[in-house]
């Protein structure tokens, strides 16, 4: 505190009663007895430069009324009789008052509670309203910018959060949590490379194991999101195994083709309590099981393929988008293992039952679109022989009889008598001489239904 002392009063005559009171008020102010100083100043007939200086200090330090203190300073600046040393000291005090007012504004903004996106936005605006022009310090600028960025992040406005946090790091580049938040924002914005750089900085600047582990986990998430699964597995090695580590390890392994280990990790993750959304875990388990099933089916291990598909085909996943596909593949596995009655029942259930969950077929027509999708084209190829499935672009004559005969002859070597019986099916759609991949896959599905469900091809399957 630069409090003006009695010496520079420049008095040339004996002090009057009023000036003596002013000297005493100045002494009280220097001693921290602000209330007494203010009472003595009130006896002054008019505000002199010295009384304004003492008043300013007392309002600042004693009353904690920063606005009144700055108002007294403005009066002092307008006083023509104020000596230069007093004005210089008052200017330094005014700068300190302005800094303290900014500190108060930051503390008030930090104390604001927020839970909803709107509340976080309101809290962020409080930080952004703080004047960061001079007089200011890098510490104040950092806290104001980082506070705004943190609330924008919690309010899921990742673009504004990234801007604020990046600006905050220009003031304090060694603050690891800020680098972590910046990495999370960039990850949500889809900039995997920039996210990895930010997480690497957070890991490098971290001073505690907790912050270092958080940065490592963020880096793993960014690597998985970027498809760098091998690097993600390597980064996971330094972390203690918990539900989150099991989750990301399972995701990476599943995509790398380590299906058995991936399924084990994700199954273990689903049994542990964690902050991960249950839907995310269920999606990962379903995807891993289906990948493992497809891989087993491709290797000829129909038994294990059916086990994997059966998990997602169970009632536990009845509302999951992969549920219908898993039931379809269970029937495919039954057909490949020779359990044609089971396969027939499975396919018939998919054709007849209207599905009620999102993303699944809602009527019979849509069953064919499943067969036409790239995901199940490989599964159909496994069920039928290469002699059949490699001819997806066969030219088929417009003649209905020729068309059914050609398909029946092609199915015959693969499925025997059931394939030959397909010749009697006259419900195939009329298609052009050069069917598209989708049309051929639909025909393949029709063949599958006709050859495995019953001895006589089903009638009335209005797929189109």
User: What's the pLDDT tens digit per position in 8-19?
Assistant: 433 434 444 457
Q: Under a CB-based contact definition with an 8 Å cutoff, are residues 357 and 320 in contact?
A: yes
Report the predicted TM-score, pTM, of the whole model to 2 decimal places. 0.63
Task: Please report which confidence band the pLDDT of residue 103 belongs to, taking 50, 70 and 90 as the band edges.
Answer: very high
User: What's the pLDDT tens digit per position in 109-128?
Assistant: 999 899 999 999 999 999 99
pLDDT at 380 over 90: no
Above pLDDT 90, what percent of the chain?
Answer: 48
SS3 call for 339: coil
CATH of the domain at 162: 1.25.40.10
Task: Please report which confidence band the pLDDT of residue 332 belongs to, taking 50, 70 and 90 as the band edges.
Answer: confident
Within 10 angstroms of residue 418's Cβ, the number of other Cβ atoms is 19
Specify the pLDDT at position 433.
41
Give 3-state DSSP helix, strand, coil % of the chain, rounded to 5: 70, 0, 30
Specify the pLDDT at position 118.
95
Report if residue 442 sits inside a domain: yes
Average pLDDT value for the chain: 76
Mean pLDDT (whole number) for 131-147: 95
- The whole-angstrom separation of Cα 227 and Cα 246 is 17
Specify the pLDDT at position 204.
92
Within 10 angstroms of residue 94's Cβ, the number of other Cβ atoms is 21
What per-residue string of b and e applies to 74-87 under the rule 16 or more CB within 10 Å gives b? eebeebeebeeebb
Do 135 and 214 fall into the same domain?
Answer: yes
Long-range contacts at 215-219 (CB < 8 A, ≥ 24 apart): 215/176, 215/179, 215/180, 215/183, 217/244, 217/245, 218/180, 218/183, 218/184, 218/187, 219/183
What per-residue string of b and e applies to 398-410 under the rule 16 or more CB within 10 Å gives b? eeeeebbebbbeb
Specify the pLDDT at position 61.
93
Token couple for 439: 């049309």
Do 294 and 388 fall into the same domain?
Answer: no
Specify the pLDDT at position 14.
41
User: What's the pLDDT tens digit per position in 172-221?
Assistant: 999 999 999 999 999 999 898 999 999 999 999 998 988 999 999 999 98
Angle at 76 between CA 71 and CA 81, to 5 degrees: 165
Q: Under a CB-based contact definition with an 8 Å cutoff, are residues 437 and 392 in contact?
A: yes
Q: What one-character DSSP code corresponds to residue 430? A: P
What is the tally of structural domains in the chain?
4
Domain end call among 360, 386, 413: 360
Above pLDDT 70, what percent of the chain?
Answer: 71
User: What's the pLDDT tens digit per position in 14-73?
Assistant: 444 457 888 888 889 888 899 988 888 876 656 788 889 999 999 999 999 999 999 999
Do 262 and 237 fall into the same domain?
Answer: no
Token couple for 42: 């009130």
pLDDT at 462 over 80: no
Specify the pLDDT at position 186.
94
Specify the pLDDT at position 311.
94
User: What's the pLDDT tens digit per position in 392-438?
Assistant: 333 333 333 333 333 333 333 334 444 433 333 333 333 334 444 33
Task: Please report which confidence band the pLDDT of residue 352 belongs to, taking 50, 70 and 90 as the band edges.
Answer: low
Long-range contacts at 401-404 (CB < 8 A, ≥ 24 apart): 403/428, 403/431, 404/428
Cβ-proximal residues to 93 (8 Å cutoff; 6+ apart), any chain: 1, 2, 56, 57, 60, 69, 73
Do 194 and 170 fall into the same domain?
Answer: yes
Least confident of 157-161, 189-193, 314-318, 429-433: 429-433
Domain end call among 249, 277, 292: 249
Domain end call among 249, 270, 298: 249
Report if residue 87 sits inside a domain: yes
Mean pLDDT (whole number) for 221-248: 91
Domain that holds residue 355: 250-360
Do 162 and 79 fall into the same domain?
Answer: no
Report if residue 2 sits inside a domain: no
């Amino acid at each position: 505190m630069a409090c003006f002392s009695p010496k520079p009063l420049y008095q040339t005559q004996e002090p009057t009663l009023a000036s003596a009171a002013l000297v005493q008020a100045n002494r009280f102010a220097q001693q921290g007895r602000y209330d007494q100083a203010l009472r003595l100043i009130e006896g002054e007939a008019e505000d002199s430069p010295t009384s304004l200086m003492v008043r300013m200090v007392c309002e600042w330090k004693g009353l904690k009324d920063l606005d009144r203190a700055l108002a007294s300073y403005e009066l002092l600046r307008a006083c023509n009789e104020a000596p230069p040393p007093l004005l210089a000291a008052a200017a330094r005090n005014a700068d300190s008052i302005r800094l303290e007012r900014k500190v108060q504004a930051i503390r008030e903004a930090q104390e604001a509670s927020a839970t909803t996106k709107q509340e976080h936005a309101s809290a962020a605006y409080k930080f952004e309203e703080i004047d960061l022009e001079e007089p200011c310090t890098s510490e104040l600028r950092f806290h104001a910018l980082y506070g705004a960025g943190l609330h924008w992040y919690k309010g899921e406005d990742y673009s504004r959060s990234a801007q604020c946090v990046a600006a905050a790091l220009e003031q304090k580049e060694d603050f690891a949590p800020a680098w972590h938040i910046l990495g999370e924002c960039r990850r949500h914005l889809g900039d995997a490379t920039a996210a990895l750089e930010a997480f690497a900085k957070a890991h490098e600047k971290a001073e505690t194991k907790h912050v270092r582990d958080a940065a490592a986990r963020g880096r793993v998430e960014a690597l998985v999101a970027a498809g760098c699964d091998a690097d993600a597995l390597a980064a996971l090695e330094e972390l203690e195994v918990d539900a989150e580590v099991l989750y990301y390890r399972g995701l990476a392994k599943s995509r790398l083709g380590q299906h058995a280990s991936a399924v084990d990790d994700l199954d273990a993750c689903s049994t542990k309590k964690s902050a991960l959304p249950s839907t995310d875990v269920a999606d990962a388990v379903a995807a891993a099981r289906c990948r493992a099933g497809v891989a087993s089916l491709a290797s000829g291990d129909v038994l294990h393929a059916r086990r994997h598909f059966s998990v997602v085909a169970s009632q536990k996943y009845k509302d999951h988008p992969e549920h219908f596909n898993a039931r379809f593949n269970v029937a495919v596995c039954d057909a490949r293992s020779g359990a044609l009655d089971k396969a027939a029942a499975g396919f018939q259930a998919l054709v007849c039952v209207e599905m009620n969950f999102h993303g699944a077929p809602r009527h019979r027509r849509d069953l064919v679109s499943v067969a036409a999708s790239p995901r199940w084209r490989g599964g159909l190829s496994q069920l039928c022989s290469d002699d059949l499935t490699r001819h997806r672009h066969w030219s088929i004559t417009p003649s209905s009889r020729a068309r059914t005969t050609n398909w029946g002859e092609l199915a015959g070597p693969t499925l025997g008598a059931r394939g030959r019986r397909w010749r009697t099916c006259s419900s195939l759609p009329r298609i052009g001489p050069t069917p598209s991949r989708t049309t051929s896959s639909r025909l393949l599905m029709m063949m599958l239904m006709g050859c495995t469900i019953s001895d006589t091809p089903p009638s009335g399957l209005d797929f189109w």
